[in-house]
Structures are given as C-alpha cells and as structure tokens.
Amino acid sequence: MIDLHTHTLFSDGELIPSELARRAKDIGYRAIAFTDHADFSNMEFIITGLSKVAEGLEKYFNLYVFYGVELTHVPPALISEATKKSRQLGAQIVVVHGESPVEPVAKGTNREAIKAKCDILAHPGLITEKDAQLAAENDVVLEISARGGHSFTNGHVFRIAKQANAKYMLDTDTHSPGNLITKEFAKVVLKGSSMNDDEVAQAFLNAENMLEKLLKRRYDAKKA
C-alpha cells in the first residue's frame, strides 16, 4: 500500500506522526506521506515539524516516509505562490485540496492547482475534462479518495481521467486510525469507482511511479 495523503496532529489528524507511521506499517504499507492542511500561516510550522521525525521513522520502521502539505482552501489566485513557497520550505510533496462535493472549495481551485503543478490534486469533485487534460499535460495525479464524502465523485473523477489520459491513484486522506486501509480494501474502493482489473492495476502502478518520482526528488535534493 502506497498512501500519499494523510494527516497528523500537525493539523486535524488524531495521531502524532510516529503512531500514524507505525499503524500504517503494521497493516502492510510500503510508503506514506504526511500532508497536513496548510496555508501561508502554518506551512513552515508543518514542514519543519514533520521533517524532524520523517527520516527516523523511515529508518526504524522500514517504511518510506515523506512529508509535505495539503494546501487547503487557499484562494485560487494564491495557489501557485503557495505551492512554490511550500517547496522552498522543503516540502517533499505538495497536495492541493480539490473541489470536493462536500466542502465549499472556491471555484477555480482545481485549475489553479494543476497550473501550479502540484503533485496530487486531492478529491477533485466534478472536475472538467479540460482540467483533466491539463493535469495530464502537467503530470498532476488525480486522486481517487477512500474518504467518505470526498469519495462521492470517484466514479466521475476516474471516467474523466481516463478520457483525458490523466494519471489517477488512490489515497486515504487519513485523519484517524480507522481511515488506514489495506491494499485489498483499496482494490474494493477502486472497483467501486467502476474500474476493471486492468484499471485497478494501473492505479497501483501510478502510485508506484509517484513513489519513484518522490524518491528521485529527495535524492536530487540531498545531492544539491
């Protein structure tokens, strides 16, 4: 299981990073990313704090651990600046909180996140084909969400991603221990999004490719 969208006590998650990583490892995770809710007010606090534990957790739990942010309800016009600032502060991954059907996310958030070349556009709701095409061009992954509410439009997200040849992968958006899932349950969520076996396999392959991208980015940063 590769899960690149989770939350800790650094925002509204229930667990400190150590416990979240340990619980993930215990149910078979290979990689996890801590991506706490952020805007300009707290992104430095989140990135600095998470960076203090990630390397040790990775070493002692034998689990790939990344840290970054989920830019959340940032005004669309500021998403590009926020993405750039997050990376400057050391974020290893930038997720943007997309236009979920269950939250009042500002219109235009999906497009501006994709234009900013975030890594993952989380739960993008009723994303348009035009925006999905831009995601394909900018190598932005569209999230299939295992989280209740955000998952209501998974079928639409997958259908549009497929039409646009955009990448898609599953994340849990974990906030509490019970949100973590096994790879077997991930298959259920993906099939529930109207995927066949080959399309489910592609979702997992896209996650593997994203993991390789993050590992290369981290390696290049250490060399610089």
Structural contact between residues 164 and 140, judged by C-beta atoms closer than 8 angstroms: no
DSSP state of 165: T
The amino acid at residue 220 is D
Count of structural domains within the chain: 1
CATH number of the domain that 54 lies in? 3.20.20.140
Long-range (24+ apart) CB contacts under 8 A made by 44-48 are 44/89, 45/10, 46/10, 46/11, 47/86, 47/89, 47/90, 47/91, 48/89, 48/90
Residues 203, 204, 208, 210, CA torsion sign = positive
Do 218 and 12 meet the contact criterion of CB atoms below 8 Å apart?
Answer: no
Query: 109 is in which domain, residue-wise?
Result: 2-223
Identify the helix (H) or strand (E) that includes residue 49.
Answer: helix 43-61
What pLDDT score was predicted for residue 34? 98
Q: Evaluate if pTM is beyond 0.95.
A: yes
Block means of pLDDT (10 residues each) for the chain, length 224 residues? 98 98 98 98 98 97 98 98 98 98 98 98 98 98 98 98 98 98 98 98 98 97 88
**DSSP reduced 3-state for 145:** strand
In this prediction, residue 224 carries a pLDDT of 81
| Residue 57 token pair | 């957790």
Strands 93-97 and 120-122: parallel
**Strand runs (DSSP E) across the chain, as ranges?**
2-6, 31-38, 64-71, 93-97, 120-122, 141-145, 168-171
% the chain with pLDDT above 70: 100
3-state secondary structure of 190: helix
The residues near 190 (Cβ < 8 Å, ≥ 6 apart) are: 144, 170, 199, 200, 203
Model pLDDT for residues 74-97, shown as the tens digit of each residue: 999 999 999 999 999 999 999 999
Based on the number of CB atoms within 10 Å of its own CB, is 167 exposed (0-12), middle (13-18) or buried (19 or more)?
buried
Q: How far is CA 209 from the centre of its chain?
A: 14
Question: For residue 166, what pLDDT is reported?
Answer: 98
Q: What is the C-alpha to C-alpha distance for residues 224 and 94, in angstroms, rounded to an integer?
A: 20
